[in-house]
């Protein structure tokens, strides 16, 4: 847990130094990019990320205000909403990835040789499997 906190804090600092939003924004933009038609329901974003519902709602408000996403009415249920990535959101995800990828390399990749990286990936895959 301590290692996770150290690495994430370093990555967040690199994003901040580059004048970019926090890592949680990247996670949402990535999931929307991967989704069919670039849109998901909020509960789908919650399921695919580590963001709690109450945090996600506020995060989506900030991302919408920044023009990175917008909400659309879910036609089958007027109470529901889609969260849709905008062109600006797609561009921001690409900008963030450049810094994020470099930060991952610096804070993780440069500290492991290829064998260690492979071993770590295998171990994390084992731990992340559902019983």
How far apart, in whole angstroms, are the C-alpha atoms of residue 40 and residue 7?
29
Place of tokens 């071993």: 119
pLDDT at 14 over 90: yes
pLDDT reported for residue 131:
67
- What tokens appear for 110 in the block? 């440069």
pLDDT tens by residue, 37-79:
999 999 999 999 988 888 899 999 999 999 999 999 877 766 6
pLDDT tens by residue, 92-128:
999 999 999 999 999 999 999 999 999 999 999 999 8
Q: Which contacts qualify for 109-112: CB closer than 8 Å, 24 or more apart? A: none
Nearest one of 92, 95, 121, 123 to 108, comparing CA atoms: 121
Burial class (CB in 10 A: 0-12, 13-18, 19+), 44: middle
Q: Are 69 and 32 in contact (CB under 8 A)?
A: yes
Nearest one of 38, 40, 36, 15 to 26, comparing CA atoms: 15
Look up the pTM and report it.
Answer: 0.88
């Amino acid at each position: 847990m301590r290692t996770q906190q150290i690495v994430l804090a370093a990555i967040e600092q690199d994003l901040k130094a580059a004048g970019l939003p926090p890592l949680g924004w990247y996670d949402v933009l990535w999931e929307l990019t991967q989704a069919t038609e670039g849109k998901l329901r909020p509960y789908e974003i919650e399921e695919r990320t580590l963001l709690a519902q109450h945090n996600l709602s506020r995060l989506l408000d900030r991302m919408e205000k920044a023009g990175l996403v917008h909400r659309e009415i879910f036609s089958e249920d007027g109470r529901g909403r889609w969260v849709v990535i905008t062109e600006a959101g797609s561009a921001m995800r690409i900008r963030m990835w450049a810094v994020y990828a470099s930060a991952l390399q610096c804070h993780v990749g440069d500290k492991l040789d290829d064998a260690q990286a492979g071993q770590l990936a295998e171990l994390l895959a084992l731990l992340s499997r559902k019983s």
